[in-house]
Amino acid sequence: MIVKPFSSESVSLHIPVLLSEALKALDPRDGDVMIDGTFGRGGYARAILDHAKTCVWAIDRDPEAVRYGHEIEKLYLGRFKILKGRFGQMKELLSAHGVEQADGIVLDLGVSSPQIDDPARGFSFRGEGPLDMRMEQEGPAAADVVNTLEEKALADLIYTLGEERFSRRIARKIGETRAKRPITTTQQLADLVRSVVPRSKDGIDPATRTFQALRLYVNDELGELQRSLEDAEHILKPGGRLVVVSFHSLEDRCVKIFLRDRARTSALISRHVPPREIRQAPTFELITRRAVCPSLEECRSNPRSRSARLRAARRTSACLVIGER
């Protein structure tokens, strides 16, 4: 399913990634209450609504996605509702609407094609635009981070969130450049990074990892993910399904560690966690033992799907011990 943009959005379409795999793991059934924490252009939400007579609560932090969601509300009267906010606050957001429990939660992380492809949003180093990267379109932008963060902190963030081994060089160059004039555009930053990072043989643009680090930082994407997993543990009914599609090794690792911990399959957990914790029954059982990747065919038809990894788990009936999580 390709989701068309509004007529005013000349930018791009969003092709949902791993859609049939996500739907299979989510297993929507008539009467189910489902949560789509990353509405985007509604590719997942609409597939769930069309698959069974479900009620879908969708969340997105991007005002443009929410505007799109309000159009979809008209197509599925009484069965679909879009909420503006962060999935890291889903428990609170949904509770404000009387929703305390759900049969399924899906998160399709990262940014949508309309966000990446619109140079005015500042996510991409391919076009010229303001150095922005804010999904919410409010709060500090990437330019604020690049122009104000201390050089060492900048190097650390590019190293940890971008897994960029030339992070110190990049931070030094940013320091030198901004001392003369502020760095305000995507091209300015991309050219600066390219001037100090050698091209790799795999053809990946040297600016890729720095842009990724800044985007993750500006939107606190890993913090959001961790909070949403913990919320999902509270919200899902026994038998409820959690499906997460990630596009970044740090995100996938976060999901893998959380699910293995909660399913008590992690060797690390059994060796190091206090006995009191180990005795608590698993709150999830894994649906996918390994991450599910897109097929060659999907990678060919939608190159943006290449790095996608899907993990899914089912909530058990174990209660959470209040105060421990």
Q: Which residues bind ligand SAM (CB under 6 A)?
A: 3, 14, 16, 38, 40-44, 59-62, 65, 86-88, 108, 110-112, 135, 224
241 vs 237: CA distance, rounded Å: 9
Report the nearest approach of ligand SAM to the CB of residue 190 (Å): 22
Nearer to ligand SAM, 42 or 162 (CB): 42
Report the nearest approach of ligand SAM to the CB of residue 19 (Å): 7
Nearer to ligand SAM, 38 or 210 (CB): 38
Report the nearest approach of ligand SAM to the CB of residue 223 (Å): 9
Report the nearest approach of ligand SAM to the CB of residue 42 (Å): 5
Q: Which of 213, 240, 243 lies closest to 133 in space, CA to CA?
A: 213
Report the nearest approach of ligand SAM to the CB of residue 31 (Å): 23
Contact 269, 261 (CB under 8 A): yes
Nearer to ligand SAM, 35 or 146 (CB): 35
Q: For the residues of 125-155, what is the DSSP string, one character each?
A: SSS--BS---SSS-S--HHHHHHHS-HHHHH
Residue 202: CB atoms within 10 Å? 5
Nearer to ligand SAM, 192 or 254 (CB): 254
Provide the token pair at 265: 């399959």
179 vs 238: CA distance, rounded Å: 56
| The 3-state secondary structure of 239-255, one letter per residue | EEEEEEEECCHHHHHHH
